[in-house]
Structure 1
Amino acid sequence: MQNFLMFFTTFFIQLIIAVEMNLVAPLAPYLSEYFGISPSSVVFFNIGFSIVGLLVPILGAFADKYGKKKSIMISLLFFIIGTIVSGLAKIPIIFAVGRIFIGIGYFALSGINLSYLSEFIPYESRGKASGLLRTAFGIAILGSPIYATNLIAKYNHLLSIYLPLTIIGIITLILMIILPETEKNLEIKLESKELFFMIKKPTNFKALLIAFLFLATPLFLMNFLGIYLSSVFQLDQLKIGYVYTIVASGTMLGVILAGIFIDKIGKEKLAKMSYSLVFISLVGLLISKNLHFIIASLGLMAFGLDSGWTAYQTLLSEIEPSKRGIFMSLLYTTNALAVTVFSILGPAFYNLGGYRLLIILSLITNFTALMIFYNISFEEIINSSQS
């Protein structure tokens, strides 16, 4: 019963943080009109959200030192406060402040959630836990565009989107109280030199660099998809929501298949196969101007991205087993850095060369990451360190 409650609670935590993360892109045309800002500027709402993610190692160290359950509860409080502020926002700056609080919760919870479950599940079976969390992510990706666009169409207010997330957040916070705490390590100290030492290890640096480069593709292409569909194909907000949902079906399929086959195929092999599929889909996007083919290619891209990330983050969860919380927080700090960098660069590149330039840049970053990835074997490194 305890294990069921543990999976149930972390599943819904992952669900609500992923739903919120995926609200801004499909609602870009609406948020532009609601706050009276240019469509390409909507992506800047992600900057404050992501910059605070750079501080996540502090919570990661806190989790390893004082317990991951306690860290999850603190992060949930930040998320809940953020959803209330964003839901009530009438001006852009207040909405941005709300998303800063949400960002602290999102990036901390993304890393600590899996780290928490990993304390109770052996590495050989950890793919199932990762698959469960990625399934929650897939459901969020699949459902959030329709969830958001339909509620906006009916109520025309941001609170209608954020209030359900607040309520579920409070429920999961209460459930966390009765779940077990992880082992504490009071000797852990979060010092900048320790972080730099961990990052400077060649294996760790390559692992984080690969993640950073792979993240360019979804951040470039999904952030500007709504604006692209609206300006080039003249789709309205509801139809844009449907396109996001169709594309997200690739995400859902990817996380489900990854959850089933990750421990059978192998975490590293599945990650390499999946990200190679992303490269193929990007080539398809580059050569086509047909809307239906573009949507199909984006669906294939989403499949590869999310099956790949499911396998990749599970693989990396064993690179620093004694300081798992810190390293997994570093992984999501890398995520936050990627969101910050590509959210700043994205509008400039889009205004310079449109969606096509973003596809070309995604091809370059994806290819570079694949070259590094295929020239290293993380599983061999993990196995040698355990023997």
Structure 2
Amino acid sequence: MGKMLTVTTMFLIQMIITFETSGLYAMAPILSNNFGINHSSIILVNIGFALAGICAPFFGVASEKYGKKKFIIIGVSTFLIGSIITSYANGATLFLVGRSIIGLGYYNLSGLLLAYLGDIVAYSNRGKIYGIIRAASGIGILLSPLTSTYLISNFSLKVYYLIIAFITAIILLLSFFIPKVEKRSSYKISTVDIILIFRNRDGRLFLFLNFSMGTFLVLYFSYIAVHLEAFFNLSALNIGKVLTYSAFGTLSGIFIAGILSDRIGKLKLTKIYYLILIASIFLINIVNIHFIWIITFIMSLSFDGGWTIIQTISSEIIPEERGVFMSLVFFVVSLSLILFYIIGPVVYSYGGFLYTTVLSGFFIIISYILFLKFAKNNTEKFN
């Protein structure tokens, strides 16, 4: 019962924070019109959310010292407060403030959930459990496009975020009943310790791999809805439908990762995902409206399936500092978001969706080359 409650609570947390975040991608054209912001610059309203990720290492250290359960409760509470504030946003400024607070909860929870589960689940079973948590992300992504566009178009932004707040309040109650894991009251980490983590060759590699995934997250997902509206002249509802197909790709990729990663090997499956993603990045700019549904499905399948396995391996790169390292993972992801929230509008205004996807493809190709070298040297350890 205790294990089921724990996994269920982690599942619901991951689902709601992903639902809120991914819903913004489908809402981008609506927010652009409501707030009077150019399509190329609409992602800037999320920069406060990304800046909150800078606090991720602090959350990692504090959770090790004071207890991961306590910081899960704090993270869910922060997410709840941010959702309530965002529900009252009538303009871009309050929306930015509310989402910044949501970001504090999101980045606290994102690394912490994996670290918490890493403490209670053996590595041999971790791929399956992480697959379940990534499936929660997939369900959140699946539900968000049509739900967000429907609720905001037919009701209001306030109704949408109050529903999120209500669900989060229920999850907060469940969080009080999950088991505690061992905390290290005397735990301390200095700047030197963090530098030592960065000096770890494999640690640096996986920080870069996650950074690259964050780059793709901004340069592809932040502009796909705008691209569908501008290039294919799709309505908000039809954009939601395309992104729902994309979400089915996410679920499929996560499901395949959970089922096959321990059978054919995490490293081999990740290489396959990388190759599919690289091909999809360049195909998406040449397909017509009849194939855009298929290519977005494949794109999400390879991206989310691959990132699921990369995060699983990341949790075992420096196991003695798992909480801190996973917080650093989400810290570098937030850095990539901040950087490309700033660079993205410039790239998009200069060359449109083609340039943003090509730039993200560059990072993915470099990541793939580096991952091949890692896989060659660590076949036995991480498969």
Q: TM-score, normalised by structure 2?
A: 0.96
Residue deviations 1:192-251, cap 9 Å, x none? 222222112211111111221233223211111111111121111111111111111111
For residue 268 of structure 1, report the CA deviation from its aligned partner. Answer: 2.2
Q: How does 1:124-135 map to 2 (within 5 A)?
A: 124-135=124-135
Counterpart secondary structure, 1:376: helix
Match for residue 280 of structure 1?
A: 279
Counterpart secondary structure, 1:119: helix
d(CA) in 1 for partners of 2:213, 2:177: 37
Question: RMSD of the TM alignment (CA)?
Answer: 1.6
Contact 1:319–1:382 at 8 Å: present in 2 too?
no
For residue 55 of structure 1, report the CA deviation from its aligned partner. Answer: 1.1
d(CA) in 2 for partners of 1:168, 1:346: 32
Match for residue 64 of structure 1?
A: 64
Match for residue 308 of structure 1?
A: 306
Match for residue 352 of structure 1?
A: 350
Aligned residues: 382
Contact 1:268–1:378 at 8 Å: present in 2 too?
no
Match for residue 211 of structure 2?
A: 212
d(CA) in 2 for partners of 1:54, 1:313: 19
Which of 291, 294, 297 is residue 293 of structure 1 equivalent to? 291
Match for residue 19 of structure 1?
A: 19
Structure 2 residue runs of 5 or longer lacking an equivalent are: none
Question: Which moved further from structure 2: 255-264 or 12-21?
Answer: 255-264
Instruction: Return the letter of the residue paired with 2:367.
Output: A
For residue 107 of structure 1, report the CA deviation from its aligned partner. Answer: 1.4
Contact 1:78–1:101 at 8 Å: present in 2 too?
yes
Match for residue 317 of structure 1?
A: 315
Q: How does 1:160-239 map to 2 (within 5 A)?
A: 160-239=159-238
d(CA) in 2 for partners of 1:59, 1:216: 23
Instruction: Return the letter of the residue paired with 2:313.
Output: L
2:123 pairs with 1:105: no
Structure 1 residue runs of 5 or longer lacking an equivalent are: none
For residue 265 of structure 1, report the CA deviation from its aligned partner. Answer: 2.0
Q: TM-score, normalised by structure 1?
A: 0.95
Question: Which moved further from structure 2: 73-82 or 35-44?
Answer: 35-44
Instruction: Return the letter of the residue paired with 1:312.
Output: I
For residue 163 of structure 1, report the CA deviation from its aligned partner. Answer: 1.4
Residue deviations 1:342-387, cap 9 Å, x none? 1111111010011111222122111111011101139839949xxx
Contact 1:149–1:237 at 8 Å: present in 2 too?
yes
Contact 2:214–2:334 at 8 Å: present in 1 too?
no
Residue identity (%): 36
Question: Which moved further from structure 2: 289-298 or 172-181?
Answer: 289-298
Q: How does 1:262-277 map to 2 (within 5 A)?
A: 262-277=261-276
d(CA) in 1 for partners of 2:92, 2:259: 42
Question: Which moved further from structure 2: 158-167 or 306-315?
Answer: 158-167
Residue deviations 1:103-142, cap 9 Å, x none? 1111121111111112111000001110111001001111
Residue deviations 1:274-322, cap 9 Å, x none? 1221011123224x14122233222111100111011110111111112
Match for residue 244 of structure 1?
A: 243
